[in-house]
């Protein structure tokens, strides 16, 4: 009876791992690190190694909370980066780089992303997405 109660407690401690497994299943990722960890914990419970299973459950739950918080923080930072836009941007027209107002961007303009004026990133993309996201 005590072993059954302990097994339930271990599974409860690892509930965040099971959340990540469910999230990955919905995305179509069936073999993940989270699934392997859960199989390992269930195997420890089945073989009677409750102390190791409890340690793995606590550690796994703690790490999943850290992963969840860092994903949320990264998502917020990414949204903050792309929520505002500069007043003027560099575009490439007919092989020439020119600086124009952001509000004058056309649908087929190719934006140039600059890094510190000295080294130009080899990135050029159409302004369709940028215009539609800044308007909405």
Higher pLDDT, 126 or 62: 62
Under DSSP, the state recorded for 85 is -
- In angstroms, the CA 104 to CA 91 distance is 11
Q: Which CA distances in Å does 109 have to 91, 96, 103?
A: 7, 12, 12
Higher pLDDT, 78 or 29: 29
pLDDT in tens, 62-93: 888 898 899 888 888 777 766 666 778 788 88
* pLDDT of res. 92: 82
Average pLDDT of the residues in 125-133:
45
Whether the model pTM is above 0.85: no
* pLDDT of res. 114: 59
């Amino acid at each position: 009876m005590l072993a059954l109660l302990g097994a339930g407690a271990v599974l409860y401690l690892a509930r965040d791992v099971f959340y990540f497994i469910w999230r990955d299943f919905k995305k179509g990722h069936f073999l993940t690190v989270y699934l392997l960890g859960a199989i390992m914990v269930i195997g420890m419970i089945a073989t009677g190694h409750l102390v190791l299973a409890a340690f793995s459950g606590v550690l796994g739950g703690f790490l999943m909370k850290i992963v969840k918080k860092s994903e949320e923080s990264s998502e917020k930072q990414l949204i903050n980066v792309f929520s505002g836009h500069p007043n003027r941007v560099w575009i490439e027209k007919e092989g020439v780089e020119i600086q124009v107002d952001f509000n004058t961007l056309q649908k087929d303009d190719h934006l140039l992303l600059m890094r510190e004026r000295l080294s130009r990133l080899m990135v050029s993309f159409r302004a369709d997405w940028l215009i539609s996201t800044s308007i909405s």
